[in-house]
Amino acid sequence: MTSSSPPVLPDEHLEASVARLALRYRGQFSAETIQSVITDSYERLAEHAHVRTHLVVLSEHLTKDRLDALAHIQGSPGVGLPRVLFVCTHNAGRSQMAAALLAHRAHRHVVVSSAGTRPAAEVEPAVGQVLAEVGVNLSEAAFPKPLTDEVVQAADIVITMGCGDACPVVPGRRYLDWPTTDPEGAPIDVVRGIRDEIDAHITELLDSLPST
């Protein structure tokens, strides 16, 4: 009887990522689980990538987000800091702005994430510009991420921003819809208006959250 070979990673450089994540999540997730998630993350990102230069790094970031969400689900969901997930179609404009604004204004009292139902290849350049104008830095690690079951299940509040019914519904979660204009290809003044509209929603959201 021959033993089966371990599944092959889609990129040999992912092996180092698996090793780093195995150390980070020692006692929580097996190397096999981590390899499975990072392989799926890589393949999801590769599907929409125009350039694959940074796919390994981005896959590691996405895998970490998914494993953090999974750890929360398996631990004590519903306790700790409020977890807010922003979802739009491409995760390149509206949801990126909303996540950055909430993270900036909540001062680490909220766990913030964002994703897209059909993620784009990159974040809209104007997003970083209009955020910088109001003193908010878009994280260097910000990139369009696919929507996965773990992040939806881990969220206390899911805020949709133009993705219609493409976002899965998990019982017990609070769902909000912010029908905001898509900034893709819009003039910079229009993008500024979208930013300000989202920021007004952020103010209302923060007022509704405990311990913020």
pLDDT 10s digit of each residue in the chain, 212 long?
A: 444 555 688 889 999 999 999 999 999 999 999 999 999 999 999 988 776 778 999 999 999 999 999 999 988 665 678 999 999 999 999 999 999 999 999 988 999 999 999 999 889 999 999 999 999 988 767 899 999 999 999 999 999 997 766 676 777 788 999 988 999 889 999 999 999 999 999 999 999 987 54
Contact between 95 and 151 (Cβ < 8 Å): no
Three-state SS for 62?
helix
Q: Which residue is listed with tokens 């989202």?
A: 198
Contact between 143 and 162 (Cβ < 8 Å): no
Distance CA 184, CA 130 (A): 13
Distance CA 51, CA 96 (A): 20
Query: Which of these, 92, 88, 86, lies nearest to 186 by C-alpha position?
Result: 92
Query: Beta partners for 116?
Result: 88, 146
Distance CA 61, CA 145 (A): 10
Q: Which pair of tokens denotes residue 75?
A: 């631990």
Query: Which of these, 150, 87, 94, lies nearest to 118 by C-alpha position?
Result: 87
